[in-house]
Amino acid sequence: MDPRAALKSVFGFDDFRPGQESVVAALMAKRNVLAIMPTGAGKSLCFQLPAIIAPGLTVVVSPLIALMANQVSLLTAMGVPAGSINSSQDRSRNVAVWRQAQAGEIKLLYMSPERLLDERMIAALQKLDIAQFVIDEVHCVSQWGHDFRPEYMQLAQLRTLFPGVPLAGFTATADKQTRADILARIFDGKADVFALGFDRPNIQIAVEDKAGATKRLLELMGEHRGEQGIVYCLARKSVDRLAETLNQHGFPALPYHAGLDTEVRRQNLDRFLTDPTVTMVATIAFGMGIDKPDVRFVFHTDLPANMEAYYQEIGRAGRDGKPARAVLLYGFDDIRIRRAMIDEGNASDAQKRIEQRRLDALLAYCEASSCRRQVLLGYFGETHGPCGNCDQCLQPSATVDATDRAIALLETVVATGQLYGQAHIVDVLVGRDTDRIRSAGHNQLSCYGSGKATDQGVWRSLLRQLYAANAIVVDIAGYGGVKLAERGWRILREGERVMLRVEEARRSSTSKRSTRLAQAVAENVDGNLLAALKRLRVELARARSVPAYVVFSDKTLSDMAMIKPRDRTQFATVYGVGQKKLAEFADVFLAVIARHEAAQAAD
């Protein structure tokens, strides 16, 4: 079958997205491929389409059961025979899937790396006609990546165990070092590399001061009421507390972290996938398995581990290409905690140095006084003009010469013995009367109260920016005391100039966000019809126990509401309608459209 014909008949798409066709052509030619594609670019289709067309079985290595289940559900709904073998299924189900694979009855078989590399599984697969091996989320291979998994490194054995069978690796996130490591480990340097860009222009990005984080989160949630999103926290306790707080304020929310019972996590995930109004409050345990197109926002209440992790996490928003939003709430303690996590970890000294540098890159992003997207994409080796869709483009921060204030702050750090944390330093500067200040005699220092004319928030921001700029350090091994680094001594002794960003107390929302239905009307779509189509989609999804987007994506429903097809021939022209979905869903959706049109005519 011709790839373009299969693209239309199976997936319901008239054309490839940018970059897809080249990757598909390389895989059809049986070449090794490493593809780095941004989230939402359609990387799964790049290996699924050749798998459907080519003879033999495609084996897909996936790190998460949820990701396998999601892919199998989507493929099955389109009429593509696919299955997975994993620990969440009982033995009889796994045996049945394997027998289908042996009989040539399925085209794609999903497995974890551990399952694939089991000696008995390798021996059994060597007896089959394997078309290709696909390693999804291939960045897990690299110890320099943000989500390294040791079992992934063993996948290099596939080259020798299955000589002549092409290998393909796909990821949305890999900087140059990670990319080189993957190429060397998995492909022995021999693969066609496709790096299709990292920009997600539909996601509005912003970084805000973490002071009053819970209050600010509630404000942000209010701006997105009725929409779906993810709130990321570092600690499990924070997840539980924030989920409860959101529910108390009328925002349906569920917790998700590794400390929850497996069944509770499964139920919460199922509800997130089927209820378009629920927010998931989660640790990074809620990660790669989530491929939901209509997530409208991702909010971080804690600093991610590094730029790659941040990019991966915000990339879960707006996969349908519509406007989405990512806001990171960030404070001084975030830096201290992340530094401590690296220093106290079990990694080698070399790895720790790399992790610290990657954290430094994220801090530079957080403290940027120019376009944030330029900084983000620059980390991945891309140049970009001002994006017009980040907080620094929409409401630019001013930069000022803060040398005098920096010297006053550093003098206070030294005068108090370089033993105290940031809160105490600020208290001394603004002249607060606390038991700790009195007992230490710090109310007798010449610096006590010297900064009372300046708002406490300005001093906190200055401390954070000096920390991010490596002018001060925190004694992680001790009690968190602030100390001067080499640059801090230069500022203090030599008056090295310090230009810092001026933060506003709180930035208002950059724009009033309309509801999704109002957006649809603006796009010349019948909003009432779209609402009716979405209600039907939810009913069909619940009856089948699948996420709503497995039935049809929002983009498909919007196209349907705009075209208003009257028969199967017209229905087949709707975006995302392939032959299987045409046969299964055309009549029920056509009936809703016909009723709507009749009611309109009667009015």
CATH number at residue 98: 3.40.50.300
Last residue of a domain, one of 139, 166, 195: 195
User: Do 335 and 282 reside in the same domain of the chain?
Assistant: yes
* Parallel/antiparallel/unpaired status of strands 108-111 and 229-232: unpaired
Mean pLDDT calculated for residue range 485-492: 92
Q: What is the pLDDT of residues 73-88, one digit of tens each?
A: 889 999 999 999 988 8
Q: What is the pLDDT of residues 13-33, one digit of tens each?
A: 999 988 899 999 999 999 999
User: Do 355 and 408 reside in the same domain of the chain?
Assistant: no
The predicted pLDDT at position 258 comes to: 86
509 in a structural domain:
no
Q: What is the pLDDT of residues 61-116, one digit of tens each?
A: 988 777 788 889 889 999 999 999 988 888 999 999 999 999 999 999 999 898 99
User: Do 270 and 349 reside in the same domain of the chain?
Assistant: yes
User: Do 241 and 293 reside in the same domain of the chain?
Assistant: yes
User: What are the two backbone dihedrals, phi and then psi, of residue 441, each rounded to the nearest 5 degrees?
Assistant: 75, 15
Say which residue, 458 or 501, is predicted with more confidence: 458
User: Do 218 and 353 reside in the same domain of the chain?
Assistant: yes
Say which residue, 346 or 12, is predicted with more confidence: 12
Residue 516's pLDDT band, with cuts at 50, 70 and 90, is very low
The predicted pLDDT at position 505 comes to: 43
The predicted pLDDT at position 146 comes to: 60
User: Do 249 and 377 reside in the same domain of the chain?
Assistant: yes
CB 226 within 8 A of CB 294: no
User: Do 390 and 403 reside in the same domain of the chain?
Assistant: no
User: Do 300 and 210 reside in the same domain of the chain?
Assistant: yes
CB 183 within 8 A of CB 34: yes
461 in a structural domain:
yes
User: Do 420 and 373 reside in the same domain of the chain?
Assistant: no
Q: Kindly report the pTM of this predicted structure.
A: 0.69
The predicted pLDDT at position 482 comes to: 87
Last residue of a domain, one of 456, 471, 501: 501
For the chain, the domain total comes to 4
Q: Is the pLDDT of residue 457 over 90?
A: no
Residue 480's pLDDT band, with cuts at 50, 70 and 90, is low
Q: Is the pLDDT of residue 510 over 70?
A: no
The predicted pLDDT at position 41 comes to: 72
506 in a structural domain:
no
Candidate from 4-13, 26-35, 428-437, 496-505 with smallest mean pLDDT: 496-505
- Closest CA relative to residue 43, chosen from 22, 59, 14: 22
Give the CATH number for residue 544: 1.10.150.80
Q: Is the pLDDT of residue 394 over 50?
A: yes
507 in a structural domain:
no
Say which residue, 167 or 293, is predicted with more confidence: 167
Mean pLDDT of the chain: 87
Q: Which domain holds residue 548?
A: 516-602
Helix H or strand E segment including 280:
strand 279-282
User: Do 321 and 469 reside in the same domain of the chain?
Assistant: no
Give the CATH number for residue 490: 1.10.10.10
Q: Is the pLDDT of residue 395 over 50?
A: yes
User: Do 212 and 258 reside in the same domain of the chain?
Assistant: yes
Say which residue, 54 or 38, is predicted with more confidence: 54
293 in a structural domain:
yes
User: Do 530 and 493 reside in the same domain of the chain?
Assistant: no
510 in a structural domain:
no
Q: How far apart are CA 409 and CA 426, in angstroms?
A: 8
Last residue of a domain, one of 172, 195, 218: 195
69 in a structural domain:
yes
216 in a structural domain:
yes
DSSP 434: -
